[in-house]
Amino acid sequence: MLPDLDTLNTRLRDGATSRAQIIGQAAARAATPAAEAVFLHSTFEAAAQVARAADAASRAGKALHPLAGLPVSVKDLYDVAGETTRAASLVRKDAAPAAADATVVARLRAAGAALVGRTNMTEFAFSGVGINPHYGTPVNPASADGVARIPGGSSSGAAVSVALGLAVAALGSDTGGSIRIPAALCGITGFKPTTRRVPLTGAFPLSYTLDTACAMARTVSDCIAVDSVIADSAVIPRVTNPAATRLAIPRQVLLDDLDPTVARAVDRALGRLSAAGVQIEHVDLPELGELAGLNAQGGFSSAEAYAIHRHVLAARRDLYDPRVASRIDRGANISAADYIDLGRARLDWIARMEARLARFDAVVCPTVPMVAPEIAPLRTDDAQFFRVNALLLRNTSAFNFLDGCSVSMPCHAPDELPVGLMLSHGPMRDADLLGTALALEGIVQPSQRDD
């Protein structure tokens, strides 16, 4: 993993390295077996040109953005001018190249980021597991025990690109947890902003209601640096005093069925926070128990994905991942009346949740209730795959339904598989939430900034 942006830019100013060297080292790592299936298409040569230009500009005394000349990966969901946006599906393999960059990609270019390639993902972003039967599955870099583990999804290659040091940040998306799940399982940080803050123009859609353009990186401050580039307006985090911070732990749903490693890491993190003076209160959030019923028919994602795919699915079903197709199929049985009812019910649900959370700085819970499971059984066992997928999405998707913002931060010990601790709040609370995350990050995992 590369150091955080502050450390990298300090080394660049001191002459200890150059942007061109960083790109070259990332390209070399991308050619190793550990990086297999991370990229669907890499562009390290073009990135090196950008890096050399940034190095020259820096030597000339020009002020540069912290991302300038540094490697950033792009999920295969976003248009890049002249490239085909496949969304990691065979269905779109022969689609016309994009005429222009997606808005968020254009903004990264304008900041000087060196785009190193298109990362692999779950087909059409419709799973939290990260397995892709068409283009392979990136192996979680935390698989140090010799067991190939899932990276999480849908932004699978994005997370692995950061965790392996192929990129300082990865542009991904989050509809039900697709940034935070792989960030948690791969031991990095992911930030899901309020959906409306970041434009989706030029992104292949899964759910018009829930899709969020966002990124993962090494630290909270690095995620903020990317958000400040891609969002319509930058937020100014209001960093809080830990002793004045109030966190809510829900009694319902989000702490159920925790893997022992997750329970241990989260308990340890909460203990550190409490010792630092953070006020942690167990609260009733009965609304969380309503989510399964509200989304029993498949929710917004299935309904909207069916609207997007129904004609192509009817003509070219054999080219789809059968598991993705089955989830899209659920949308066929959602009537217009059901869809409207769900939208109205969501507004009522959000209002009740916001009222309960008003006195807290964030909700705190595990990002996902398990550590990364093995890939092999999930490739062949549909029942196990869908059980794991539902568990991976359970905690994160609650805050997509809330239209909220959410940060996953690593909280595991060096000898443990990665575990994420998630801080979340309601819509347009991004500045407050990021301030809280900045204040608590070093307490949750004191070694996070170490190389």
Pick the closest to residue 169 from 269, 68, 316 (CA basis).
Answer: 68
Q: Is 154 a catalytic residue?
A: yes
Q: Is 178 a catalytic residue?
A: yes
Task: Find the catalytic residue in 178, 221, 301, 424.
Answer: 178
Task: Find the catalytic residue in 18, 42, 73, 75.
Answer: 75
For the chain, the residue count is: 451
Gap between the Cα atoms of 44 and 30, Å rounded: 9
Residue 145 makes CB contacts below 8 A (sequence gap 6+) with none
Q: Do residues 270 and 281 make contact, with C-beta atoms less than 8 angstroms apart?
A: no
Can you name the residues that pair with 425 across neighbouring β-strands? 405
If residue 21 lies in a helix (H) or strand (E), which one and from where to where?
helix 19-30
Identify whether 154 is preceded by a cis peptide bond (ω within 30 of 0).
Answer: yes
Task: Find the catalytic residue in 18, 58, 154, 156.
Answer: 154
Phi and psi at 317, nearest 5°, equal: -55, -35
Can you name the residues that pair with 185 across neighbouring β-strands? none
Residue 394 makes CB contacts below 8 A (sequence gap 6+) with 253, 254, 368, 369
DSSP codes of every residue in 425-445: E-TT-HHHHHHHHHHHHHHH-
Give me the active site residues, please: 75, 154, 178
